[in-house]
Structure 1
Amino acid sequence: MTVSVAFAADLEGRVLKIGTDATYPPMETVDETTGEIVGFDVDVMTAICEKVNCVPNFVNTAWDGIFAALQQGEFDLVISGVSITPEREETMDFSEPYIVVSQAILLQVDNGDMTLDDFKAGGQKLAAQTGTTNAQLAEDVVGRENVSLYDNFSAAILALQNADVQGVIIDGTSAAAYEQEFAGELTVGITGLQSDPLGIVFQEGDATVDAINAGLAAIKEDGTLDALVGKYWSTN
C-alpha cells in the first residue's frame, strides 16, 4: 500500500527549494566541515522526497522573514522546526505533523535548581527567538518586559552564558542538543511545558502539500521516521 500511495504522489523528479534557518540543532544546522545543512528536518525531508520522487534543495535563511520569503515564492516550502499554530494556519498551509516537541527552559548549571515558579515570581529574564512560539510562551511566563528576543538561538544561548538572562525557552529537542554541546555549563532545567506539533509549511493553496503528506505517511508507515527520531534522540 505504501508503494501505491507514494507512486500516486510522484513529483517526477521536481527540485524543491526549501527554506530553513540552520541555526537550530539538532533540527537543522550547518556542518562546519562540509558547509552542508544537516539535521533531523533535513533527513525527514530527504526521506519524504525519496518516497515521492523529488529533490530537496535546502537554502539557509534567517528565521526573521522566512515566511515572507515563502509567501513571495522564494521557496517551495519551509521546514525549520515550525510549530503548527492557528495564527499561522490563517495565512499558510501545513503538512500533517511529523513530530511533537515539548518546550523547555535551558539554564546555567549553577542555577539548575530554578523552577517555573521562580520565573513567574518576577525579576528573572527569559530569552527566546523572535517570532516563535517559544517567545510567546516566555511572555506568558515572565511578561513582555522580562523577555529578551534574538534573531537566532545562538545569540540567545550566548546571552544565557553571559548571564544577561536567566533562562532560554526553547524546544526540548534542541535544548538537549545545547546541553550536550555545553556540558557542565548549561542544563535543561525545566521541562514539560507547552507541547507543539511541528509541520512543513507551504503557501496557502499549494497542492504540493498532498504529495508531501503522502510521503510523510509512507515514512511513518515503514518505520523510517521512527528510525530518524531514534538517530537524533536515542534513549540509550
Structure 2
Amino acid sequence: MGTISYDSQDEPALYSRRRILRLSGLMVGLGGMAVLPGCGPAAPDARVGMAPTGSDSAGSAGVLGDGITLRVGMEAAYAPFNWQTTESSEFTIPIENASGAYADGYDVQVAKVIAEALDMEPVAVKLDFSGLIDALNNGQVDIVCAGMSATPEREQSADFSDSYLDDNIVLIVRDDSPYVGATTFADLEGAYILGQVSTLYDDVIDQIPGCVHMTPADTLPLVVENLASGSCDAITYSELSVPKLIDMYPNFVELQLTDQFDGSPMPANAAIAKGQEDILDRINDAIASISDDERQELWTACTDRQPA
C-alpha cells in the first residue's frame, strides 16, 4: 500500500517462551525461502493425513491438512486484521505465495495460537477475500483467519469456529460532508455509500433506505481512498478500527447513529472445511485460551503496528 509502518515499542508478552522460540525457528527456516506466486498446495486428497473434503473420514484422525504446515487463508490487505509486510518479526508469518513477504495482524496472532494448539507451523496464503471459502474447499488453504464472520450462506460451505473478536459496523464520513450531522439511516437518503466486496460491510448498506449503494471496492484500503478523495459520501467500517483511522485521516468523522445494522455486532470466526468436528473442537479450545484481556492487548498492539 506504499505506507509507513508504526511499530509498538512495548508489545504485550502474550506468548510463552516456548511459543516465541517456535515462531523464531519458523522465521529462520522459512524466512529466506522464495515461493513463486500462484504455487498452491496439492489437492486435499493428495496431502498426507487428510481425507478428501466432504468425505465421512475427513478430520477423523485429528489432523488438519498435512499435519505439519498450517496454510492460513487471508487477503493480507485488511489492517489491523491482516496486512502484508517485507519485514520478518516475532509477530509475522511468511506468505507462501508471495516471495519475500510476510503477514502480520490480529488474524495472524490468533492463527499462531491455533497452529500451536494443533502442533503445526503457520504460513499465510494471500488470496482475494471473495475466494477464501473456495480455496478452503479445494485444498489451497487449511483454515481461513481473515476477519471473516460466519453467516448462514457461508455456513453452507464451511464450518466456523467460535468468535475470536467481536466488532460493530459503523459509518464514516468526511468532516465537510453534508451528512456529517446524520443520526438516523433516514438522514442518509441520497448519500453515496461504499463498502468492501463480499463482506458484511457491503451487504448492510441495503439496510439504509434511499441511499445510493455503490459498487463495492475490492479492498479496504480502496474503500478508505474513495472517501478520502471524495468519490463517495460515506463508508462502512470496523468500529474497533476507527481510532486508528481517524489518527491517519483527521478529517474523517464517525457518525453517531441511533439506528444499528442487522448483522452487527459482527464476529470474527475461523473457518475450516466441513466434516472435521474434532479439529474444530481443538480450534475452539485454542480460541477460548485467549482471555478477553489478551484479545484487547493483541488488538491494541496490532493497531499500533499496522501500516498507515
TM-score (norm 1): 0.82
Letter in 2 for 1:218: S
Instruction: For 1:94-133, list aligned pairs within 5 A.
Output: 94-111=160-177, 113-117=180-184, 120-133=187-200
The answer on 1:14 being equivalent to 2:68 is yes
User: What is the CA-CA distance between 1:103 and the residue it aligns to?
Assistant: 0.6
Distance of aligned partners of 1:133 and 1:118 in 2 relative to their CA distance in 1, 3 Å threshold: closer
Partner of 1:19, secondary structure, is strand
Instruction: Provide, for residues 196-218 of structure 1, a one-character-per-residue CA deviation record: whole Å limited to 9, x for no partner.
Output: 12100111113422221121122
The answer on 1:42 being equivalent to 2:96 is no
Paired with 1:180 and 1:215, the residues of 2 have a C-alpha distance of 33
Paired with 1:170 and 1:54, the residues of 2 have a C-alpha distance of 33
The answer on 1:178 being equivalent to 2:178 is no
Which protein is richer in helix relative to its size? 1
Conserved 8 A contact 2:183-2:255: no
Partner of 1:110, secondary structure, is coil
Partner of 2:198, secondary structure, is coil
Distance of aligned partners of 1:28 and 1:121 in 2 relative to their CA distance in 1, 3 Å threshold: closer
Letter in 2 for 1:217: A
User: What is the CA-CA distance between 1:121 and the residue it aligns to?
Assistant: 4.4
Q: CA RMSD in A?
A: 2.7
Partner of 1:177, secondary structure, is helix
Conserved 8 A contact 2:73-2:144: yes
1:29 paired residue number: 83
Instruction: Provide, for residues 127-169 of structure 1, a one-character-per-residue CA deviation record: whole Å limited to 9, x for no partner.
Output: 1011111111112114684333111111111111121111110
Of residues 260, 265, 268, the one that matches 1:195 is: 265
Unaligned runs of 5+ in 1: 1-8
Unaligned runs of 5+ in 2: 1-61, 89-100
Distance of aligned partners of 1:83 and 1:144 in 2 relative to their CA distance in 1, 3 Å threshold: farther
The answer on 1:228 being equivalent to 2:282 is no
Of residues 154, 160, 163, the one that matches 1:88 is: 154
Conserved 8 A contact 1:10-1:53: no
User: What is the CA-CA distance between 1:177 and the residue it aligns to?
Assistant: 3.1
Q: Percent identity?
A: 21
Paired with 2:136 and 2:67, the residues of 1 have a C-alpha distance of 21
Conserved 8 A contact 1:26-1:177: no
User: What is the CA-CA distance between 1:10 and the residue it aligns to?
Assistant: 8.9
Between structure 1 and structure 2, the one with the greater Rg is 2
User: What is the CA-CA distance between 1:72 and the residue it aligns to?
Assistant: 1.2
Letter in 2 for 1:199: N
Paired with 1:150 and 1:77, the residues of 2 have a C-alpha distance of 24
2:288 paired residue number: 217
Paired with 1:16 and 1:63, the residues of 2 have a C-alpha distance of 18
Letter in 1 for 2:272: F
Distance of aligned partners of 1:142 and 1:54 in 2 relative to their CA distance in 1, 3 Å threshold: farther
User: What is the CA-CA distance between 1:226 and the residue it aligns to?
Assistant: 4.5
Paired with 2:252 and 2:187, the residues of 1 have a C-alpha distance of 21
Paired with 1:189 and 1:145, the residues of 2 have a C-alpha distance of 17
Aligned residue pairs total 224
User: What is the CA-CA distance between 1:99 and the residue it aligns to?
Assistant: 1.2
